[in-house]
Structures are given as C-alpha cells and as structure tokens.
C-alpha cells in the first residue's frame, strides 16, 4: 500500500512539473514585440478606413444628383469595409495567438 501511494505521489509530481509554465524573458519580449507591430498595423488600417469613409461621404454630399458617381462611391465604401473585415479577422487570429503565447511565456 505504501508503494502504491509513493508511485501515485511520484506520478503527480512529474506531471505537475511537466505542465508548469516557464517564464522565458526572451520569448516574452518577442511576443510583446509582435503584439505591438500587429496593434500598430491594425490602428493604421482603422485610421485609413475612417479617413477614406469621411472623404467618400463628403463627395456623396457634393454629388447628390449624379447617381453613377454615388454608385461608384458606394462601391468604394463596400470595398473598404471588405478590407477592414479581412484585416479584422487577421487581427483576431493574431490576438488569439498573442494571448496563448503570453500565457505560455510571460505569466
């Protein structure tokens, strides 16, 4: 019975050691640097979308009578939203990767 308890204790200790998280300063710095670059690129895309949308809305107000111009402007707005949606999905994947990496190396 004592051997059985000893073996269980050893298995528990080994499994605890193998699943413990290890703080790795170098990896942590790499993860944070990648997050910073990703966040800045995301911000650039968002700022571009907002400025382009404002320009297009101003053009729409100026050309109320011309339906063909309005259709082109609506197409441009839709294109920008599609680009924004794609960038958002990529950013979401990057943030999930960042969260997993941060939990693995920085906590």
Per-domain boundaries in the chain: 22-102
If we measure between CA atoms, which residue out of 81, 47, 80, 74 comes closest to residue 60?
74
d(CA 59, CA 56): 5
Which H, E and C letters describe 8-56, residue by residue? Answer: HHHHHHHHHHHHCCCCCHHHHHHHHHHHHHHHHHHHHHHHHHHHHHHHH
Token pair of 6 as six digits: 């000893």
What confidence tens digit (pLDDT) does each residue in 30-79 have?
777 777 766 777 778 778 888 888 887 787 777 666 777 777 777 877 88
Q: Which of the two residues, 102 and 82, has the higher pLDDT score?
A: 82
Give yes or no for residue 13 having a pLDDT over 70: no
Q: Taking residues 1-30, report their average pLDDT.
A: 61
Rounded Cα–Cα distance for residues 14 and 16 (Å)? 5
CB atoms near residue 105 (< 10 Å)? 19
pLDDT value, residue 27: 73
Whether the model clears a pTM of 0.85, i.e. scores above it, the answer is no
């Amino acid at each position: 019975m004592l051997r059985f308890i000893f073996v269980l204790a050893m298995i528990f200790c080994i499994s605890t050691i193998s699943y413990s998280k290890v703080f790795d300063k170098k990896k942590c710095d790499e993860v944070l640097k990648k997050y910073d670059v990703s966040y800045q690129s995301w911000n650039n895309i968002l700022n571009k979308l907002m400025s382009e949308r404002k320009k297009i809305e101003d053009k729409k107000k100026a050309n109320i009578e011309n339906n063909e111009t309005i259709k082109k402007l609506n197409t441009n707005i839709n294109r920008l939203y599609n680009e924004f949606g794609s960038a958002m999905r990529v950013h979401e994947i990057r943030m999930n990767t960042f969260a997993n990496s941060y939990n693995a190396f920085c906590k």
